[in-house]
Amino acid sequence: MILNGSNNFMNQNMKIPFVDLYPQYEELKSDIDSAIADIITRSDFITGPTVDKFERVISEYTGAEDCASIGSGTNALICALKALGIGPDDEVLTVGHTFVSTTESIVNVGAIPRFIDINEFYQMDTDQLVYSSRLKAILFVDLYGQTPDIDKILEFAKQWNLVVIEDAAQSFGAEYKGKKVGNMVDLTCFSFNPVKNLGAMGDAGAVTGSKKLIDKVRMYRDHGRKTKFEYDTVGYNARIDNLQAVIVGTKLKKIDEWLDKKISICRKYTEQLNDVVKCPKEAPWSKHSYHLYVVETPHGTRDDLQEFLKQQGIQTNIHYKIPTHRTKAFYDGTKLPVTERICENIISLPCYHTLMEHHQDFIVKSIKEFYAD
Ligand SMILES: Cc1ncc(COP(=O)(O)O)c(C=O)c1O
């Protein structure tokens, strides 16, 4: 490290990536290599017992009655909406503070997203749930890795006879009031995108729920197929690739250990940064799985902080800069003041279970340095 003229330290060697996936592979190398070799040797690339086994282990972990593996989290959402009968002109209550897939899946089945704002936990604000005559579903998101107040959402849904879908792309392993995500609403959709806490080495996802609904999801993910030659509905090619199924299945053995390590890293950030930036709050009902560690910076400082950290060799990210209701594809004039304010100020810090202690210390020190004067 050297000091530059303005008393900021400039690091010449340190490179801290925003995500670092290779150490996960190294930790499980022999198991992953042999699982991949086995698939290749048996030329067992899609469907069959490999997928059945994968679906069983995901059901067991989440406590769900059944699970359908899917080719991606996005396709999980689309197949779930279709299985629940959501289609043209139906309205779906959702949030704008999310990855584009949430909104995109609603629009892709022909339905209309109705956006509502978020609360201090970055989750759907259940005080803003509002009924309209065409409302058929609520699609909420466990953004960054914790859930909204699910009981309040279920209560509203029951009152108005709505179906409930959970976008749990970011919350595998999280809990709500002591129950694992995957078993609380009509259908829960997971993503195993490589950067997720439980990540494949390509695209992959799953839907969990009751056997009756999951059978429908299975039909949609496989061209609408009922039996080998019977197609009862128009579906998709949205099946998981078996190589991804065995990779995710192998990593699943480590997920609780990895989550525990990640949670302590995130709590350490909160302890050390709380007086400098606004750190994420864990909701009283939730076990947060911290897919992302996102802080709110003092207004007008985010972009300069990001640039400063970049100069220090620290890679950061923004989730998300433009909320989906403000993007060109989905713009409908809705105003969500909390979402829009937050999107101007948030920054995501490197956070993974293999983040080295001296790297985290350096990140904290750099942020404190930036806000020192
Ligand atoms: C909130 C949210 N929903 C949906 C998705 C879509 O998942 P996938 O990338 O597996 O299609 C993602 C992830 O990327 C996500 O973060």
203 within ligand 1 shell (Cβ under 6 A): yes
* Residue-range definition of the domain harbouring residue 271: 2-21+254-370
Residues 297, 157 share a domain: no
- Backbone φ and ψ for 184, nearest 5 degrees, come out as -120, -20
User: Would you give the DSSP letter of residue 179?
Assistant: E
102 within ligand 1 shell (Cβ under 6 A): yes
In angstroms, the CA 135 to CA 161 distance is: 9
Last residue of a domain, one of 252, 278, 308: 252
Number of independent structural domains in the chain: 2
pLDDT above 60 for 228 = yes
Q: pLDDT for 34-68, tens place per residue?
A: 999 999 999 999 999 999 999 999 999 999 999 99
Name residue, tokens 């909104």: 103
pLDDT of residue 373: 73
* Nearest in space to 324 (alpha carbons), one of 308, 311, 340: 340
pLDDT above 80 for 192 = yes
pLDDT of residue 368: 98
State which ligand 1 atom lies nearest to the alpha carbon of 75: 11
Residues 101, 49 share a domain: yes
pLDDT band at 5 (very low <50, low <70, confident <90, very high): very low
Residues 293, 235 share a domain: no
Provide the Cα torsion 327, 330, 334, 339; round to 10°: -50
Residues 259, 145 share a domain: no
CATH of residue 292: 3.90.1150.10
101 within ligand 1 shell (Cβ under 6 A): yes
pLDDT above 90 for 10 = no
Q: Which amino acid does the sequence have at 263?
A: I
Residues 224, 275 share a domain: no
Residues 262, 227 share a domain: no
Per-residue pLDDT averaged across 76-92, rounded? 98
Would you say the pTM of this structure is higher than 0.85? yes
Residues 294, 200 share a domain: no
Structure tokens at 175: 């809990």
Last residue of a domain, one of 196, 219, 252: 252
In angstroms, the CA 125 to CA 129 distance is: 7
In angstroms, the CA 329 to CA 325 distance is: 8
Name residue, tokens 């579903």: 137
Residues 220, 346 share a domain: no
Q: Which amino acid does the sequence have at 232?
A: D
Residues 261, 189 share a domain: no
CB atoms within 10 A of CB 134: 11
Q: Nearest 5°: CA angle at 349, between 344 and 351?
A: 145
Tell how far the Cα of 238 is from the centroid of ligand 1, in angstroms: 14
In angstroms, the CA 24 to CA 297 distance is: 30
Tell how far the Cα of 70 is from the centroid of ligand 1, in angstroms: 12
Cβ atoms of 80 and 189 within 8 Å: the answer is yes
Residues 144, 99 share a domain: yes
Last residue of a domain, one of 201, 222, 252: 252
Instruction: Give me the long-range contacts of 158-164 (CB less than 8 A, separation at least 24).
Output: 160/131, 160/135, 162/93, 162/135, 162/136, 162/137, 162/138, 163/84, 163/85, 163/86, 163/136, 163/137, 163/138, 164/137, 164/138, 164/140
CATH of residue 61: 3.40.640.10
Residues 272, 243 share a domain: no
Q: pLDDT for 313-365, tens place per residue?
A: 999 999 999 999 999 999 999 999 999 999 999 999 999 999 999 999 999 99
Tell how far the Cα of 369 is from the centroid of ligand 1, in angstroms: 34
pLDDT above 70 for 8 = no
Cβ atoms of 34 and 40 within 8 Å: the answer is no
Residues 269, 152 share a domain: no
